[in-house]
Amino acid sequence: MLKNSSKKPQLQRFKISYMAMFLALVLLALSALPNLYPAKSWLHLSTTQSQQHSQQLLANTPSQKSVIDFLNQHGFLVEQSIQVAQNSLSLNVLLQEPTKSAAAQQALKSEFTQLNAKIVTHQTSPDWLQSLGLAPIKLGLDLNGGVLFVLDVDLVKAQQEQLDSAYEQTKTIIRDEKARGVRVQKNAHGFELHALPAAKSDLAVVQANVLKRFERLMATAHSQGNLTTVAFSFSEQGSNAFDKEVMSQTLTTLRGRIEELGITEAVTQRQGKQRIRIELPGVQDPSEAKRIIGATASLDFYQLKEIGGKTFNLQNGGSINLDPIAIFSGQHINNAHAGRDEWGKPLVQLSLDSQGGEAMSAFSKRNIGKPMATVYSEYYKNTKGEVVKKSEVINVANIAQHLSSQFSITNMQSPQAAQDLALLLRAGSLTAPVTIVQEQTIGPSLGADNIHNGLAALMLGMGITLAFMALWYRRLGLVANIALLLNLTALVGLMSLLPGVVLTLPGIAGLVLTIGMAVDTNVIIFERIKEERRKGRAPYQAIEQGYQQAFATIFDANITTMITAIILYGIGYGPIKGFAITLALGLITSVFTGVYVSKALSQTLYLKLANKRGARA
Amino acid sequence: MSNSNEKMSTTTRLRLSGLVLSILLVLLSVIGVATKGLNFGLDFTGGYLTEFTTAVPISEAELAKKISYYHHDDFTLSAQSSQHFQLREAEQASTSPWLATLTQDETLGAEVLSSSYLGSQVGDELFEQGCLALFAAMVAVMIYLALRFEWRLALGSVVALMHDVVVVVGLFAWLQLDFNLTVLASLLAIIGYSLNDSIIVGDRVRELLRLDSTTQQASVNTVINESIKSTLTRTLITSGTTLATVASVWLLAGAPLQGFSIALFVGIVVGTLSSICIAATLPQLLGLRHENYQVKVDEQSQALMDMP
């Protein structure tokens, strides 16, 4: 480790390595410390902030007292509340039973509609620990309680949509370029252009145009007789890039939606090629989250078309023909709020981003007095279980004036629908349909039970092991036990320190297992030492030899478990991953404490004894 | 030490009878899996699982009858205690209002602890992945062992670990215990653990063979017996402490880890048996000799020994 250390005298050399070891242990112990202070969930209450409405809102904002009284009356006893801001309501509340926070949040939401309630976890560890950036181990859903969703993103459908859109746009390109000899037709993998020899130059122009607009597509040409056919489909590269883009866009959208729901500590991550795993700790009722997360509603704005175009269904029966290319779509919407029009009907107020605003402005200027259609699309599962897109024209309105980036959509079916649509528009819409393939709700009491049971098992297992080692090996057993306790501290410290490590119930089992198996390292060494002693070596030499001889065996034995732990980590999800992490980290810390730390300990112990007793051995 | 050249020593006899026992156990397990099959958990089959408690104790049959009034699809109700139940339904189960009805029934006071839904497609994938993990772990470990040991010792360890996995799976088939993802994880842990034992015995065999090879005094049989004896204390202590911790998980950590700890417990017991009776005995039957370990002090293991 230290190159120049070999020149230094023996004593000084191991002092340096002792120092390093000591330092590492202190650091790990320090990072394990915050786990003694369990985090508490507070309710953060504030009035919904929106600039246009702030004036009227201020009038019917509930008072601080009324909120707390409401909580106390409904069985959510408030332990502590802190007012954050003076003029508007902004309150932090700690309940006596923090596991009820989610239920309280739900109750508050339905009672005070203007109130924004969030559950936020607060550290309770001393400030100096927090300022070092140290936090307790993150707990998995099975310990914390909460909701898990695994969504399947239908990438095939998304590609299909993209090809359909390319097909529609190709039709427009052909019309714009006046390429009369070119025909477009759908095929199994996308669509194809047909042209007779006379229209060959037109074909080339159209082909170049399509490829320019859709970089992900590739064109393959072949001719049959005098008919030239150019087929468009996703290139392998393009298909991969498209899938990747869809996945990351879906992730962003879902994160946005979860944030809109007021869930702060959600974990949203990709799982495998086309799955997304969402963990919502603290959430008790999955129905709202489910409705919002799985929703695929999107809005597009179209121009009406008398001749040709694509046929859409009207919401209240009948059908209408629209230009296949949208003026602009939902992704250009910056902000959306649900509200009511002057007749009390629900509406959604929109404001567009600059690009959408320009498109809208340019379009409305040219088309004053002409109608514009708002199309609401949603994916749903039909009776056969296939995912189908349903598009409906919810609104056809004449453009009364030159519209800018702010306007509203009327004719929403219900206030709930308006609210949901506003939320979805704020968070962005999904380009690919998603279906929930896994859903799990773990109640807070079950989570607390799991922690309690897991810790009890840990204590018992640890107690038995410590007692046995102390009785069997006496003085060396003391060394082993200190090493074992240090091992647990180091493991907990390491788990708190590393980002992305989550403690789950199987993880606790892994922790218990690690304790049982960590003894192994010491047992192997101690048996060796005994053997060396039988051969007639002095204690100090026997220890030195024992540690050295046993190392190869210990290394061998641990590496195979490490291999299985790594494989388990690579393949498992959720709780299983937690088990694999604890197992793998436990191996590292148990070799560290079992070999290095306990060697230092036993040497010191024997060195002192040898010094005291003189050269008795 | 007894004269093992002429007559079989007690250790050898125990070893061989242990081997016969292991073969019987494997046969029994295979029969169990073939005839009864595994009772796959929700993780692998997909479907719905609802866990709930009731305020008043109620018998399983009584509750099942109660639920079947408003639940017309198939369901399996299992009691964890007289107030703690699990209800499992197939994925196609219609969303019948049994749960709402049950929680509104004030005489029962049912409260939902957790509910899960898993698509059968995901279940199939998890199963595939699990099998892949088991397979990958075995292959990776075999490669490591082949590099590290002479092939006879390596084969002995691999057969030992397969034995452990098969016996645990067999037990789950015979007792029809829920075979879920955590049980699969424990199978992987068993692989690691079983090897741990086998390697330590194998390591000692290798070491003694090397030390011995110049003089050729002892037979391979004696060397193996000697290795087992000198590692027995360690094997028993480690197995003992690990069993104690696993038993405490079994007893205290509650239902979610029941299958996991049963699998580990049995795995450790049979793992200890197989490390002595298979991992150490098989190489001898395959004709392990002193020459296999002459001078061939492989460099990488020497390097590993010098590492600290």
Bigger pLDDT: A48 vs A216:
A216
Task: Give contacts of A565 with chain B, Cβ < 8 Å.
Answer: 188, 192
Q: Which residue of A has its CA nearest to B230?
A: A527
Please give the helix or strand (H or E) that residue A465 lies within, else none: helix A444-497
Q: In what order do the strands lie in the sheet with A434-442?
A: A267-271, A275-281, A146-153, A434-442, B111-118, B47-53, B84-89, B75-81
- The 3-class SS string of A12-43 reads HHHHHHHHHHHHHHHHHHHHHHHHHCCCEEEE
| Cβ contact A184:A192 at 8 Å | yes
Give the mutation candidate from A571, A579, A591 for the B interface (greatest B CB count, under 10 A).
A571
Residue listed under structure tokens 């094997």: B235
Contact B305 A551 (CB under 8 A): yes
- The total domain count for chain B is 2
Together in a domain, B145 and B259: yes
Together in a domain, B114 and B127: no
Contact A513 B241 (CB under 8 A): no
Helices then strands, counting H and E runs in chain A, come out as 17, 23
Amino acid code (one letter) for B86: Q
* For the ranges A7-16, A76-85, B10-19, the one whose mean pLDDT is highest: B10-19
Report the C-alpha dihedral over residues B66, B69, B71, B75, rounded to 10 degrees.
50
Q: How far is B250 from chain A (nearest CA, A)?
A: 8
Minimum mean pLDDT range among A39-53, A477-491, B146-160: A39-53
Return the biggest CA–CA distance within chain B. Answer: 84
| Cβ contact A303:A323 at 8 Å | yes
The radius of gyration computed from the CA coordinates of chain A, to the nearest angstrom, equals 33
Together in a domain, B222 and B152: yes
**What CATH number should be reported for the domain holding residue B80?**
3.30.70
A20-36+443-613 belongs to which CATH class?
mainly alpha
d(CA B239, CA B270): 10
Amino acid code (one letter) for A411: N
Contact A516 B246 (CB under 8 A): yes
Contact A513 B203 (CB under 8 A): no
Q: How far is B7 from chain A (nearest CA, A)?
A: 28
- Which of A233, A96, A90, A114 is closest to A166 using CA atoms? A233
- Which of B239, B245, B249, B241 is closest to B270 using CA atoms? B239
Q: Which residue of B has its CA nearest to A517?
A: B242
Q: Which residue of B has its CA nearest to A596?
A: B308
The radius of gyration computed from the CA coordinates of chain B, to the nearest angstrom, equals 25
Task: Give contacts of B252 with chain A, Cβ < 8 Å.
Answer: 453, 456-457, 460
User: Once rounded to an integer, what is the mean pLDDT over residues B178-184?
Assistant: 89
Where do the structural domains in chain A lie, given as residue ranges? 20-36+443-613, 40-122, 156-239, 295-440
User: Of B100, B118, B136, which closes a domain?
Assistant: B118
Task: Give contacts of B242 with chain A, Cβ < 8 Å.
Answer: 513, 516-517, 519-520
Contact B141 A557 (CB under 8 A): no
Residues written for chain A: 617
Whether residue B304 is contained in a domain is answered as no
Whether residue B303 is contained in a domain is answered as no
Q: What homologous superfamily is domain A40-122 in, according to CATH?
A: ACT domain (3.30.70.260)
Contact B248 A512 (CB under 8 A): yes
Contact B264 A450 (CB under 8 A): no
Q: Which residue of A has its CA nearest to B187?
A: A564
Question: In the structure encoding, which two tokens stand for residue A53, read together?
Answer: 């409405």
Give the closest of B148, B237, B256 to A505, CB-based: B256
Together in a domain, B148 and B201: yes
Going B290 to B292 to B297 to B301, the CA torsion angle's sign is: negative
d(CA B158, CA B138): 8
Please give the helix or strand (H or E) that residue A105 lies within, else none: helix A101-111
Question: In the structure encoding, which two tokens stand for residue A314, read together?
Answer: 């009207």
Contact B238 A142 (CB under 8 A): no
Together in a domain, B63 and B32: no
d(CA B16, CA B224): 12
User: Of B118, B133, B163, which closes a domain?
Assistant: B118
Contact A555 B307 (CB under 8 A): yes
Together in a domain, B109 and B197: no
- Which of A313, A387, A347 is closest to A152 using CA atoms? A387
d(CA B63, CA B85): 9
For A314, list phi and psi in degrees, rounded to 5: -85, 150
Q: What residues are paired with B114 via a beta bridge?
A: A442, B51
Residue listed under structure tokens 């959408």: A356
Q: How far apart are the first and last CA of chain A?
A: 32
At the second CATH level, the architecture of A295-440 is: 2-Layer Sandwich (3.30)
Q: How far is B251 from chain A (nearest CA, A)?
A: 8
Contact B113 A445 (CB under 8 A): yes
Together in a domain, B21 and B87: no
Which residues form the domain of B91? 47-118
* Whether pLDDT at A26 is above 80: yes
d(CA A15, CA A6): 13
Please give the helix or strand (H or E) that residue A539 lies within, else none: helix A539-571
pLDDT of residue A264: 74
Q: What residues are paired with A233 via a beta bridge?
A: A218
Contact A520 B248 (CB under 8 A): no
Residues 6+ apart with CB under 8 A from A497: A28, A31, A134
d(CA B180, CA A249): 33
Minimum mean pLDDT range among A48-62, A514-528, B255-269: A48-62
Give the mutation candidate from B83, B114, B233 for the A interface (greatest A CB count, under 10 A).
B114
Confidence of residue A95 (pLDDT cuts 50, 70, 90): confident
Minimum mean pLDDT range among A219-233, A599-613, B136-150: A599-613
Together in a domain, B96 and B31: no
Question: In the structure encoding, which two tokens stand for residue B253, read together?
Answer: 């950590």
* Whether pLDDT at A69 is above 50: yes
User: Once rounded to an integer, what is the mean pLDDT over residues B187-191?
Assistant: 88
* Whether pLDDT at A212 is above 80: yes
Contact B307 A551 (CB under 8 A): yes
Q: pLDDT of B29-72, one tens digit each?
A: 999 999 999 999 888 888 888 888 888 888 888 888 888 877 77
Its ipTM equals: 0.83
Q: How far is A461 from chain B (nearest CA, A)?
A: 4
Residues 6+ apart with CB under 8 A from A13: A2, A5, A6
pLDDT of residue A94: 82
Q: Which residue of A has its CA nearest to B114?
A: A442
d(CA A137, CA A492): 8
pLDDT of residue A421: 77
Whether residue B156 is contained in a domain is answered as yes
Q: pLDDT of A219-275, one tens digit each?
A: 888 888 788 888 888 888 889 999 998 898 888 888 888 887 777 778 888 888 889
Whole-number percent of chain A with pLDDT over 90 = 9
Q: DSSP class of residue B257?
A: G
Give the closest of A449, A509, A563 to B137, CB-based: A563
Give the mutation candidate from B248, B261, B265 for the A interface (greatest A CB count, under 10 A).
B248
One-character DSSP codes across A263-309: B-S-EEEEETTTEEEEEEET---HHHHHHHHS---EEEEEEB-SSSS
Q: DSSP class of residue A137?
A: P
Count Cα neighbours of B141 within 13 Å in the Cβ-side half-sphere.
38
H helices of chain B, where?
A: 10-35, 42-45, 60-70, 98-104, 120-148, 151-175, 181-212, 220-252, 258-277, 282-285, 299-306
Task: Give contacts of B199 with chain A, Cβ < 8 Å.
Answer: 553, 556-557, 560
Please give the helix or strand (H or E) that residue A337 lies within, else none: strand A333-340
- The burial class, CB within 10 Å (0-12 / 13-18 / 19+), for A77 is exposed
Contact A563 B192 (CB under 8 A): yes
Together in a domain, B263 and B131: yes
- Which of A313, A163, A306 is closest to A238 using CA atoms? A163
* Whether pLDDT at A491 is above 70: yes
Number of A:B CB contacts under 8 A? 218
Contact B249 A457 (CB under 8 A): yes
Task: Name the region of A580 (left: φ>0; alpha: ψ -120 to 50; beta: rest).
Answer: alpha
Together in a domain, B181 and B251: yes
User: Once rounded to an integer, what is the mean pLDDT over residues B240-259?
Assistant: 90
Q: Which residue of A has its CA nearest to B202?
A: A553
Residues 6+ apart with CB under 8 A from A392: A312, A313, A314, A315, A375, A376, A377
Task: Name the region of A293 (left: φ>0; alpha: ψ -120 to 50; beta: rest).
Answer: alpha
**How far are the Cα atoms of A67, A73, A81, A123, A283 from residue A76, in angstroms, in the given order?**
11, 7, 13, 21, 16
Whole-number percent of chain B with pLDDT over 90 = 22
Q: pLDDT of A351-360, one tens digit each?
A: 887 777 887 7
* For the ranges A213-222, A313-322, A365-374, A481-490, the one whose mean pLDDT is highest: A481-490
Contact B305 A512 (CB under 8 A): no
User: Of B118, B136, B156, which closes a domain?
Assistant: B118
Task: Give contacts of A531 with chain B, Cβ < 8 Å.
Answer: 230
Contact B133 A572 (CB under 8 A): yes
Contact B113 A443 (CB under 8 A): yes
Contact A555 B304 (CB under 8 A): yes
pLDDT of residue A86: 63
Together in a domain, B53 and B163: no
Q: What residues are paired with A393 via a beta bridge?
A: A314, A375
Whether residue B308 is contained in a domain is answered as no
Q: How far is B104 from chain A (nearest CA, A)?
A: 17
**Helix, strand and coil percent figures for chain A, each rounded to 5:** 55, 25, 25
Together in a domain, B169 and B149: yes
